Amino acid sequence: MNAGQYRPTFDPKLWTTIEPFVSEAVADALPQVTYRETELYVAIAPFVRWSWETAGMPLDRLSIFNVHLVERYVAVGLAHYTVAGRGTMRSRLLRVCDCLVGAEMETRKLRGYRPSDASRPYTAKEITILKSWAKGLSTSARRHDAEVILALGIGAGLSSDEINRLRVEAITSDDVGTLIDVFGAMPRRVPVEPEWERVLTECSERLPGDAWAISRQRGDNGQKLVTNFIARTRPDHLLTARRMRATWIVHHLNAGTALIPLLRVAGLNKPEALDRFLPYAGVVSDDEAIRSVRLAASSEKIR
């Protein structure tokens, strides 16, 4: 393959601008790597396009083939990839950086992409940024979908598939607050965190019950709607349904939600399913643990 044979998946006008830079990078890196030429084009061209168009970097090697920019691109520009896919592209681009800028590399500071990252909750700052991203999208339909996805993921702990398949009629309420009736593999009723109730209440009041909660114009129940929406709208932070659900679960662990009720509303069958979230929960002192246990015991009736 050469530049003339490569067919970019982005705007051809952009390719015309960056093609000489990309082709020179591929030509210089190719003799030093085990990757095929086609694999280099597939990795380098979209990365350079993102770096130049989205990140605003000049077309010079020290600016583009920067390991920290690679990290940013993999996290944000490849948010729709699987963990394995991001890891593959990251490895390929870091090898190219090593070939083209050599001593400028600082790989000691880089973190790996591990499946366990999916259990890391979003920080309060990251959630604020994600809210701003949702409110700043270009159309009302996109803003609706983004806010509902965040509310169902961070506010109710639903999985990607559950968000995809949720109809508006599943958003209900009781005397205390908003509830989500979840169907499918893990049927349950989930109370929504108060912070996220407004978005879902407005959704249920504005739309008919048989409408889909997100992507309302689709013809069926959809596949990978959440993933595809995130890929199209490119939030500033890596957004995944797994991390949104992790945020909700860790919130309840820190709030002291009792184990059995938490397993029930989370749709989990075994306590061991919470193990991967425990490293992200807050540390409890002996005094706090004793006080919490005594309080729970005093409120429980003897059966």
Q: Tens of pLDDT along 238-258?
A: 788 899 999 999 999 999 999
Q: What is the CATH number of domain 124-292?
A: 1.10.443.10
Q: Tens of pLDDT along 224-237?
A: 788 778 877 777 66
Asked whether the beta carbons of 224 and 214 are under 8 A apart, the reply is: no
Over range 5-25, report the average pLDDT.
Answer: 87
pLDDT band for position 162 (50/70/90)? Answer: very high
Over range 267-283, report the average pLDDT.
Answer: 92
Q: What tokens were used for 172?
A: 């209900």
Q: What tokens were used for 41?
A: 């084009």
Contacts of 284 (CB under 8 A, 6+ apart): 292
Q: What is the chain's alpha carbon radius of gyration, rounded to the nearest angstrom?
A: 23
Residue 232 has a pLDDT of 77
Asked whether the beta carbons of 40 and 96 are under 8 A apart, the reply is: yes
* pLDDT reading at 128 higher than 50: yes
Instruction: Report how many helices (DSSP H) and strands (DSSP E) the chain contains, helices first.
Output: 13, 3
Domain assignments of the chain as residue spans, ordered by start: 12-113, 124-292
C-alpha distances in angstroms, 57 versus 18, 36, 66, 73? 12, 26, 11, 12
pTM of the model: 0.63
Residues shown for the chain: 303
Residue 74 is given by DSSP the state: I
* pLDDT reading at 302 higher than 80: no
* pLDDT reading at 154 higher than 90: yes
Residue 229 has a pLDDT of 84
